[in-house]
Chain A
Amino acid sequence: MKTRSLLRFVTVALLLAAADRMRAQDTNPDSKEDDSGRPGKGLRFVWKRHPSIRVGGWLRVDFRARLQMDWTVLNPETSASPDIFDFERRRFAVEGVLFKRIEFEISRETAETDFPWKDVYGNIRIARGLQVRGGRFRIPFSLEQTTGPTDLDFIERSRIAARLAPGRDTGVAVHGNVLKRGLRYNAGVFGNDGDIAATTTNLRTGQRTVAGRLVAQPFRWLPAPKLLEDFSIGGAATTSDVPAGLYGIRGRTAASDTTFPAYFVSGNRRRVGLEMNWMPGPFSVKGEFIDMREQRLKQSIRGEDLPDMIQRGWYLMGTWVVTGQRKSRGLDRGRYVPFIKRWGAVELAARYEAIRLASDTSTGLASRSTRAFNATRQSDRVLTFGVNWFLTQWVKLQANVLRDRIEDSFRAPVQGVPSYWIYKFRMQFTL
Chain B
Amino acid sequence: MRQAVLPLAFLAVALPSLAQETKQTLQDELFDEKAFQEIRLEIHPEDFRKLQNNFRDNTYYPANLLWEKQYLENVGIRSKGRTSRRPNKPGLRVDINRYEDQEFIGFKSFLLDNNIQDLSLIKERLAMALYQKMGLPAPRETHGRLYVNDAYVGVYTITESTDKKFLKRWLGEDEGFLYEWEFLEGYRMQYLGDNPGLYSPSPFKPETNELNPNAAPLEKMIRAINQAADADFPKAVGEFLDLKKFLTGLAVESYLAEFDGFLSDYGINNTYFYRFNGKNLGMFIAKDRDNTFTNITHPMFANANANVLVKRCLANAELREFLFSEVMRAASLTGGADGWMDKEIVRLADLLRPHVYADTNKECIETPCTLERANADFENQVAYMRELVAQRREIVLTELKALGYTPLPEPATPEPVANAVGMPIK
Contacts and interface: CB of A to CB of B under 8 A. Distances in A.
B314 interface: no
A376 B73 CA distance: 14
A213 to B, nearest CB: 35
Interface residues of A, number: 18
5 contacts: A244-B46, A301-B64, A302-B44, A369-B100, A370-B61
B211 A301 contact: no
A367 B44 contact: no
Interface of B: 42-47, 61-64, 73-74, 76, 98-101, 211
B63 A301 contact: yes
A84 interface: no
A365 B62 contact: no
B100 A367 contact: yes
B74 A371 contact: yes
A368 B43 contact: no
B44 A414 contact: no
A300 interface: yes
A307 to B, nearest CB: 15
B99 A301 contact: no
A376 B100 contact: yes
Contacts of B73: 301, 365, 367, 369
Contacts of B64: 301-302
A155 interface: no
Contact of A366 (B47, B61, B100): B100
B99 A372 contact: yes
Pick the most buried of A244, A264, A371: most chain B CB atoms within 10 A of its CB.
Answer: A371
B154 to A, nearest CB: 21
Interface string A293-307: 000000111110000
A105 B76 CA distance: 47
A414 B74 contact: no
A365 B101 CA distance: 11
Interface of A: 244, 264, 299-303, 365-372, 376, 410, 414
Contacts of A372: 62, 74, 99
Contacts of A376: 99-100
Contacts of B62: 301, 367, 369-372
Contact of B74 (A244, A369, A410): A369
B346 to A, nearest CB: 40
A244 B50 CA distance: 13
A229 to B, nearest CB: 52
A264 B44 CA distance: 11
Contacts of A300: 44
Nearest to A76: B211
A369 B73 CA distance: 9
A431 B45 CA distance: 54
A303 B74 contact: no
A371 B43 CA distance: 10
The 9 closest A-B pairs by CB, nearest first: A369-B74, A369-B99, A369-B62, A368-B99, A367-B74, A367-B100, A371-B62, A367-B99, A301-B44
Given A366-B100, A368-B99, A299 B44 contact: yes
A302 B74 CA distance: 11
A219 to B, nearest CB: 51
A300 B45 CA distance: 10
A272 to B, nearest CB: 29
Contacts of B47: 371
Given A367-B73, A368-B99, A369-B99, A301 B42 contact: yes
A77 to B, nearest CB: 9
B44 A303 contact: yes
B100 A368 contact: yes
B89 to A, nearest CB: 21
A369 B100 CA distance: 8
A409 to B, nearest CB: 12
Contacts of B101: 410
B43 A301 contact: yes
A244 B43 CA distance: 15
A114 B390 CA distance: 63
A302 B42 contact: yes
Contacts of B46: 244
Contacts of B44: 264, 299-303, 371
A370 B59 CA distance: 12
Contacts of A244: 46
Nearest to A245: B46
Contacts of A369: 62, 73-74, 76, 98-100
A243 to B, nearest CB: 11
Given A244-B46, A376-B100, 18 more contacts: A264-B44, A299-B44, A300-B44, A301-B42, A301-B62, A302-B42, A302-B44, A303-B45, A367-B73, A367-B99, A368-B100, A369-B99, A370-B62, A371-B44, A371-B62, A371-B74, A372-B99, A376-B99
